[in-house]
Amino acid sequence: MTYTAPAPAALDAMLDAVSFDASGLVAAIAQQHDTGEVLMIAWMTREALQETLQTGRVCYYSRSRKKLWRKGETSGQVQHLHEARLDCDADAVLLLVNQIGVACHTGRRSCFYRAFEPQGLVELTKPEIDPNQLYGHTHA
């Protein structure tokens, strides 16, 4: 499936339907479109969601850097949008994506690599790539 951007009038109506929080953010969950694997959660502003829906390349808002963050701009680990969905309360977005490479800044495919077990947190997967290779430094 190839992503097709909505018409401008439809895009404005869709963005108006989203319930952004007091900080102007909405939670965005990225899921691999063909396997259902949950990759990550991040935040989007109206501008980030608009850019994502217009271009088909996922853009988030970095709360720590206080600016738009185009997934993969420094690491090369890009997300291409297949479909975007809005939840029933309009306060969360599900992004069905094609993840190129790893999604997590720790070098893992998914940010959800630890499980709550009776003995404590258990690491389910090891990094596939050293974060130094992605960012040129250790990314905390």
pLDDT in tens, 22-61: 999 999 999 999 999 999 999 999 999 999 999 999 999 9
Of 51-55, 62-66, 133-137, give the lowest mean pLDDT range.
133-137
Mean pLDDT of 96-123: 95
pLDDT of residue 72: 84
Mean pLDDT of 116-124: 97
pTM (2 d.p.): 0.90
Q: Which two tokens stand for residue 76?
A: 């090369």
* In contact, 61 and 68? CB cutoff 8 Å: yes
108 vs 140 pLDDT, higher one? 108
* In contact, 111 and 39? CB cutoff 8 Å: yes
Per-position b or e across 52-89, b if 16+ CB within 10 A of its CB: bbeebbbbbbeeeeeeebbbbeebebbbbbbebebeee
Residue 124 has pLDDT above 60, yes or no: yes
